[in-house]
Structure 1
Amino acid sequence: MMATSFTAEAQNKKAEKREVQVTLSVPDLDCPNCVKKIEAKIPHEKGVKDLKVSLENRTVWISYEENKTNVETLSRALDKLGFPVKTTEKKD
């Protein structure tokens, strides 16, 4: 009985730490300083694991822990920096 409880608990912890990737379209991303600003701030948002900013595509790709943050929170963080998000593409 203990082994079953432990296994279920381990599976629950795995589910809690599930990473999700999202690509956010940021039309106002138009200079190298914009990229630096995003790269300096967004990685410090709770739950963010990885970040890639593309000036060429005007997108921000973020990998994050689903149990710690969500797309709406990350979009608001970008908006506070002066970069409103227009569209999102989420991958589980």
Structure 2
Amino acid sequence: MRAKVLFVALALASACFAKDIKTVVLTTNPQMHCNNCEKKIKENIRFEKGVKSIKTDLDTKTVTIEYDADKTTIADIIKGFEKIKYEAKEVKENPKKVDATTSATKVSN
């Protein structure tokens, strides 16, 4: 019985301290254009404090980062990109895919 009460108390306590996980979509300058760019970003930004996951998309040339807002901010993540010689900016709208053959842009869904 004592173990059940302790388990319920721990479950309630962990619910009170739930992490504030957020997602940000960034674009970089220079633009990410190859697998080496993806690898450089993923291997370096993953060490920034609070970063939980990183997804890159070469079609839209964006980086989607899931982070713990209790441990870091978007500004801190952008500073992490500066360490590896990239300028990062937050994407506020739907990323656009660039057609490499025609240079036309398409809104991604």
Runs of 4+ in 1 over 6 A off after TM superposition: none
Assess if the C-alpha contact under 8 Å between 1:47 and 1:65 holds in 2. yes
Equivalent residue runs for 1:3-82 within 5 Å: 10-14=14-18, 17-28=19-30, 29-82=32-85
Q: Which has the larger radius of gyration?
A: 2
CA shift, 1:9, in A, is 5.4
CA shift, 1:72, in A, is 0.3
**Structure 1: any 5+ residue segments left out of the alignment?**
1-5
Q: How many residues align?
A: 82
Q: Which has the higher contact order (CA 8 A, sep 6+)?
A: 1
Give the Cα–Cα distance (whole angstroms) in 1 for the partners of residues 38 and 28 of structure 2. 11
CA RMSD of aligned residues (A): 2.0
Tell which deviates more after alignment, 41-50 or 62-71. Answer: 41-50
What is the TM-score with the length of structure 2 in the denominator? Answer: 0.65
State the identity as a percent. 30
Assess if the C-alpha contact under 8 Å between 1:26 and 1:83 holds in 2. yes
Structure 1 counterpart of 2:17, one-letter code: K
**Structure 2: any 5+ residue segments left out of the alignment?**
1-9, 93-109
What is the TM-score with the length of structure 1 in the denominator? Answer: 0.75
Structure 2 counterpart of 1:18, one-letter code: D
Give the Cα–Cα distance (whole angstroms) in 1 for the partners of residues 49 and 90 of structure 2. 21
- 2:87 aligns to what SS in structure 1? coil
Structure 2 counterpart of 1:40, one-letter code: E
Counterparts in 2 of 1:84 and 1:68: CA distance versus 1, 3 Å: same
